[in-house]
């Protein structure tokens, strides 16, 4: 069994996943559009992403899709936890995710980690960044 987060967007999935691919040094393995699928969608939704897969170093995957117009709900009550190898790696990733977003908890030393912070990126996705 495995569990993989599936993120949803309101037309910005491809932009977000290309950003995450760069930030996490990942590999975008799949990008499928509604228009290339048998799903009947309005013409203005055909270029939206029906499925994307991003593989991170180490093999973890993040899945994503755009929902159809009018169906998007902003994520609440969940963060993706990312454990980096070094404080420098955590600081770089945190800084990139924070660009255009917000930082509910700046990256800092805590009683459980020498480096931990919470960021909401410009796509509305929440991340907890720490080190292993």
Q: Decide if 6-66 and 80-131 have a common fold.
A: no
The 10s digit of each residue's pLDDT in 16-44 is 999 999 999 999 999 999 999 999 999 99
Distance (Å, whole) CA 126 – CA 7: 11
Residues 56-63, mean pLDDT to the nearest whole number:
96
Distance (Å, whole) CA 62 – CA 3: 10
Contact (CB, 8 A) for 60 and 26: no
Task: Indicate the SS3 state at residue 14.
Answer: helix
Q: Identify the band that residue 126 occupies on the pLDDT scale cut at 50, 70 and 90.
A: very high
Domain at 80-131, CATH class: alpha beta
Distance (Å, whole) CA 54 – CA 117: 23
CA-wise closest residue to 89 among 61, 59, 57, 66: 57
Domain 6-66: give its CATH superfamily.
2,3-Dihydroxybiphenyl 1,2-Dioxygenase, domain 1 (3.10.180.10)
Contact (CB, 8 A) for 56 and 45: no
Distance (Å, whole) CA 9 – CA 32: 14
Spell out the domain ranges in the chain: 6-66, 80-131
Phi, psi of 39 (to 5 degrees): -75, 130
Q: What's the confidence (pLDDT) of residue 13?
A: 98
pTM: 0.94
Contact (CB, 8 A) for 96 and 23: yes
Pairing of strands 27-33, 49-55: antiparallel
């Amino acid at each position: 069994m495995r569990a993989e987060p599936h993120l949803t967007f309101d037309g910005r999935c491809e932009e977000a996943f290309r950003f995450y691919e760069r930030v996490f040094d990942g590999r975008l393995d799949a990008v499928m559009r509604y228009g290339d699928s048998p799903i009947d969608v309005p013409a203005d939704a055909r270029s939206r992403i029906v499925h994307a897969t991003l593989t991170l170093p180490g093999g973890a995957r993040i899945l994503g899709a755009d929902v159809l117009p009018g169906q998007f709900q902003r994520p609440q009550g969940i963060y993706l936890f990312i454990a980096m190898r070094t404080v420098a790696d955590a600081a770089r990733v945190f800084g990139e995710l924070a660009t255009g977003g917000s930082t509910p908890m700046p990256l800092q030393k805590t009683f459980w980690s020498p480096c931990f912070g919470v960021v909401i990126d410009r796509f509305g996705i929440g991340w907890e960044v720490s080190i292993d």
